[in-house]
Chain A
Amino acid sequence: MANQGPTSQTILVVGGGIAGVTAAVEAAETGYDVILLERGPALGGRVAQLNRYFPKLCHPTCGLEINFQRIRKLKNLRVVTMASVADVKGDKGNYTVSVNVAARYVNANCTACGACAEATDMEVDSAFNYGLSKTKAAYLPHEHAFPMRYVVAPEAIGTPEADKIKAACKYDAVNLDDQGETFDVACGAIVWATGWEPYDPVKLESYNYNLSPDIITNVQMERLANHDGPTEGRIVRPSNGEPVRTVAMIQCAGSRDHNHLPYCSRICCLGSLKHAAYVREQYADVQVDIYYIDLRAHDKLEAFYQRVAADPQVNFIKSKPASVSVDGDGNPVLHGEDTITRELYERPYDLVVLATGMKPAASNGYAPPMSVERDEYGFLVPSLEGDGGIIPAGVAAGPLDVSMSVQSATAAALKAIQAVGQKS
Chain B
Amino acid sequence: MTLAPPEQAARKYDLNFARWVRDNVNGGEKMSMCMQCGMCSGSCPIGTEMDHGPRKLFMMIRAGMKDEVFNSSTIWNCTSCYNCTVRCPRGIPVTYIIQDLAAKSVELGYVKKVQNARFAKAFWWSARTFGRTDERLMTAKYYWSGGLVDFVKRSLGNLTIALSMVRTKRMHIGAPHKIKDVKGLRAILAKAAEIDVRESKGGAS
Which residues in A have some Cβ–Cβ distance to B below 8 Å? 206, 252, 256-260, 293-294, 318-323, 335-339, 342, 344
Contacts and interface: CB of A to CB of B under 8 A. Distances in A.
Interface stretch (B37-45, B72-80, B153-161): B37-45
B48 interface: yes
B36 interface: yes
Interface in B1-51: 35-39, 41-43, 47-48
A339 B58 CA distance: 12
10 contacts: A206-B43, A206-B87, A252-B89, A256-B35, A258-B90, A259-B87, A320-B37, A322-B39, A336-B39, A337-B53
B38 A320 contact: yes
A323 B43 CA distance: 7
Given A256-B89, A257-B89, A258-B89, A337 B35 contact: no
Contacts of A259: 86-87, 89
Contacts, number: 57
Contact of A320 (B39, B47, B48, B53): B39
Given A321-B42, A335-B42, A339-B55, A293 B35 contact: yes
A337 B53 CA distance: 9
B47 A337 contact: yes
Given A257-B89, A258-B89, A259-B89, A338 B38 contact: yes
A322 B42 contact: yes
Secondary structure class of chain A's binding surface, majority of residues: loop
User: What are the 6 A-B residue pairs with the smallest beta carbon separation, nearest first?
Assistant: A322-B42, A336-B42, A257-B89, A320-B37, A337-B41, A337-B38
Contacts of B38: 318-320, 322, 336-339
Nearest to B41: A337
Contacts of A206: 43, 87
B184 interface: no
Contacts of B53: 337, 344
Q: Which of A252, A259, A320, A335 has its CB near the most chain B CB atoms (within 10 A)?
A: A320
B193 to A, nearest CB: 32
B43 A344 contact: no
B57 to A, nearest CB: 11
A338 B36 CA distance: 10
Nearest to B90: A258
Contacts of A260: 89
Contacts of B39: 320, 322, 336
Interface in B73-106: 86-87, 89-91
Interface string B173-205: 000000000000000000000000000000000
Contacts of B89: 252, 256-260, 320
Nearest to B47: A344
Contacts of A257: 89
Contacts of B55: 337, 339
B73 to A, nearest CB: 15
A324 to B, nearest CB: 11
B56 interface: yes
Contacts of B86: 259
Q: Which of B38, B39, B43 has its CB near the most chain A CB atoms (within 10 A)?
A: B38
B72 to A, nearest CB: 13
A322 B43 contact: yes
B40 to A, nearest CB: 8
A402 B90 CA distance: 29
Interface string B111-147: 0000000000000000000000000000000000000
B91 A320 contact: no
Contacts of B35: 256, 293-294
A337 B91 CA distance: 19
A318 B41 CA distance: 13
A52 B64 CA distance: 48
B51 to A, nearest CB: 11
Q: Which of B41, B42, B90 has its CB near the most chain A CB atoms (within 10 A)?
A: B42
B180 to A, nearest CB: 43
Nearest to B89: A257
